[in-house]
Amino acid sequence: MESQVPKRQPLKKWNPKWKDKLKELCLQRVRDGRTQMLWRIRNSPLPVSGESAHDNKYMESTFRNIVTDELKRVRQTSTNSAKNDTRRASEKEDSDMLWEYEAPAELANEDYVELMLAMERALYDDMQAELRAQEEALLEEFEAAASQEDDAIADLIQNFQDLSAVPSSLAAY
Distance CA 113, CA 137 (A): 36
* pTM for this prediction: 0.37
Distance CA 154, CA 147 (A): 10
Phi, psi of 81 (to 5 degrees): -70, -30
Phi, psi of 124 (to 5 degrees): -70, -35
- Contact between 25 and 73 under an 8 Å Cβ cutoff? The reply is yes
- Give 74-87 pLDDT, tens digit per residue: 777 766 655 555 44
Greater model confidence, 67 or 167: 67
- Give 28-85 pLDDT, tens digit per residue: 777 777 777 767 666 666 555 555 666 667 777 777 777 777 777 777 776 665 555 5
